């Protein structure tokens, strides 16, 4: 009966993409269900997976929206 | 102070619908709030309900996105 | 594939009880699964229910821990 | 390692707005991260914040969708 | 910035155990963080994992607490 | 109708403490409710706050349980 919830920012993993692709999502579903089978012996059919895509401006880290945080880190690493 | 969160796939419950209707959502809100009143004597005004609609490709069961799982089950039941 | 999460405070619904009973929890599970069947035609076997019990001091309403809020309301209603 | 999740209804805080603005979201991120620093001494860099915007018809209080509840309250206060 | 939440029932994966072991939990943390790196190229340091252990009587499937459901399935398979 | 969920590790903020104190929790409840009032003009009475305490071994960062991660960081900073 495991439930795996994966929250990711809505952004592409490569040029020209605006979000995770259906293939990437299927890989997350497959991989996390397999993990529960491998580690805790939970049958694949007993695991639910939910992927939640969070808009960039809705995700904060270090007290800043994540886009601002990244800009700041790029500047500081120059 | 109960909080009820209901996660459902974003899909219609009948032909020509792409998602749960406002009436269906209102019925979920009413029914789950009433349940907390009936079982635990929580006043309606103390219960919050949140409905989260999950895109079909973001929901996995049995290691597969839910649409693929259904196709596979239809094939195996023929 | 619905997932219903029910968050309640950990407290008894009657004298001498410190938490919801197993029977009350079973009633929440049965009732909320039935609701999804009645409203959205979801088979019972497709619905997961998770009950989360929240310690009284971990639940806030009106800017106060819920126990303090209740005391204040009792005073103000005298 | 704190994670703060803030669920709000998707509606504007002023005329002509349909949702919280990016500035308001940034203020929620900053304020809640700062709170964890002030109260529990958690470094800003250890705190994640997720803002979830819930459609009005997906949020219930008092057994009703929140828009209906507000209408009813306005009527009863006349 | 991914957050992975893994909800499992509090029960042992072998005789004499009452819950997942620290090693099993570490394997879930490692495996799910690695999955996000493999699939979406998210650095390990950007991923939080939270494991939530749900009491058996707090988890429902098929309209029943999960322990009752298992008993029923054993009977029906005889 | 905002709901604020604050997930923290179960550990003391000072010597001799094993968890956040009731006072610290009350400060989190007060501060986050006030934040919603300040930023989005939400009345205190419309905000619920839930604090979830996560066992140290149930929280992962950087692919490791959080206690192991801290040890590793201390070593690497010597």
The residues near C14 (Cβ < 8 Å, ≥ 6 apart) are none
Better-scored residue on pLDDT, E74 or F19: F19
Per-residue confidence band for C76, with pLDDT thresholds at 50, 70 and 90: confident
Q: What is the pLDDT of residue F33?
A: 98
Per-residue confidence band for C32, with pLDDT thresholds at 50, 70 and 90: very high
Neighboring chain C residues of E62 at a CB cutoff of 8 Å: 33, 44-45, 47
Q: What is the pLDDT of residue C73?
A: 86
Q: What is the pLDDT of residue C25?
A: 98
pLDDT of B77 over the 80 cut: no
Q: Assign residue A20 a region (left: φ > 0; alpha: ψ between -120 and 50; beta: otherwise).
A: beta
Q: What is the pLDDT of residue E66?
A: 95
Neighboring chain A residues of D45 at a CB cutoff of 8 Å: 61-62
Average pLDDT over chain B reads: 94
Cβ–Cβ < 8 Å for F1, B48: yes
Q: What is the pLDDT of residue E64?
A: 97
User: Nearest C-alpha of chain D: how many angstroms from A31?
Assistant: 24
Q: What is the pLDDT of residue F51?
A: 98
Q: Which of B58, B64, B68 is opposite residue A51, by nearest beta carbon?
A: B58
Q: Which of A7-16, B4-13, D17-26, E32-41 has the lowest mean pLDDT?
A: A7-16
C-alpha distances in Å from residue E64, one per residue of A42, C16, C57, D77, F62: 19, 26, 30, 43, 37
Q: What is the pLDDT of residue D57?
A: 96
Cβ–Cβ < 8 Å for F49, C61: yes
pLDDT of B78 over the 80 cut: no
Per-residue confidence band for D15, with pLDDT thresholds at 50, 70 and 90: confident
The alpha helices in B1-78, defined as continuous H runs, are 22-40, 66-76
- Contact with chain B for residue D59, Cβ under 8 A: yes
pLDDT in tens, A38-75: 999 999 999 999 999 999 999 999 999 999 999 988 88
Handedness of CA C11, A5, A10, A64 (dihedral sign): positive
How many domains does chain D contain in total?
1
pLDDT in tens, D16-73: 889 999 999 999 999 999 999 999 999 999 999 999 999 999 999 999 999 999 998 8
pLDDT of C15 over the 90 cut: no
Structural element, H or E, at residue D1: none
Handedness of CA F35, F41, F43, F49 (dihedral sign): negative
C-alpha distances in Å from residue D51, one per residue of D4, D9, D22, E69, F7: 8, 10, 11, 36, 14
Report d(CA F8, CA F13) in Å as an integer. Answer: 11
Q: What is the pLDDT of residue F73?
A: 86
Q: What is the pLDDT of residue D45?
A: 96
- Token representation of residue C61: 């309403």
Per-residue confidence band for F14, with pLDDT thresholds at 50, 70 and 90: confident
Instruction: Tell me which residues of chain B, numbers 11 to 50, contact chain C at a CB-CB cutoff of 8 Å.
Output: 13, 20, 24, 27-28, 31-32, 35-36, 38-42
Better-scored residue on pLDDT, C23 or D15: C23
Residues C10-28, mean pLDDT to the nearest whole number: 92
User: Nearest C-alpha of chain B: how many angstroms from C20?
Assistant: 8
Query: Tokens 């991660």 map to which residue?
Result: F69
Q: Express as a percent the part of chain D with pLDDT over 70.
A: 99
Q: What is the pLDDT of residue B12?
A: 85
Nearest residue in D to F70, CA atom: D1
User: Nearest C-alpha of chain C: how many angstroms from A45?
Assistant: 11
Measured CA angle at F49 (ends F47, F55), to 5 deg: 170
**Can you give the residue range of the structural domain that contains D68?**
3-76
- Token representation of residue D11: 């509606």
Give the residue from A34, A49, A52 with the most B CB atoms within 10 Å of its CB, the best one to mutate: A49
Strand partners, E8: E53
Q: What is the pLDDT of residue C69?
A: 94
Residues B32-39, mean pLDDT to the nearest whole number: 98
pLDDT in tens, F21-75: 999 999 999 999 999 999 999 999 999 999 999 999 999 999 999 999 999 888 8
pLDDT in tens, E49-68: 999 999 999 999 999 999 99
pLDDT of C78 over the 80 cut: no
List the CATH number of the domain containing B47: 3.30.429.10
A in contact with B (at least 3 C-beta pairs within 8 A): yes
| Closest among F11, F6, F2, F4 to F58, alpha carbons compared | F11
C-beta neighbour count of B19 within 10 angstroms: 14
Report d(CA E50, CA F8) in Å as an integer. Answer: 10
pLDDT in tens, E16-42: 889 999 999 999 999 999 999 999 999
Give the residue from D3, D20, D34, D49 with the most A CB atoms within 10 Å of its CB, the best one to mutate: D49
pLDDT of C38 over the 90 cut: yes
Q: What is the pLDDT of residue E76?
A: 81
């Amino acid at each position: 009966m495991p439930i795996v919830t994966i929250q990711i920012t809505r952004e592409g993993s490569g040029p020209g993409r605006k979000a995770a692709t259906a293939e990437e999502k299927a890989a997350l579903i497959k991989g996390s269900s397999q993990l529960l089978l491998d580690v805790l012996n939970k049958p694949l059919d007993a695991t639910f997976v939910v992927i939640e895509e969070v808009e960039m401006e809705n995700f904060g880290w270090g007290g800043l929206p994540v886009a601002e945080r990244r800009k700041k880190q790029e500047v500081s690493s120059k």
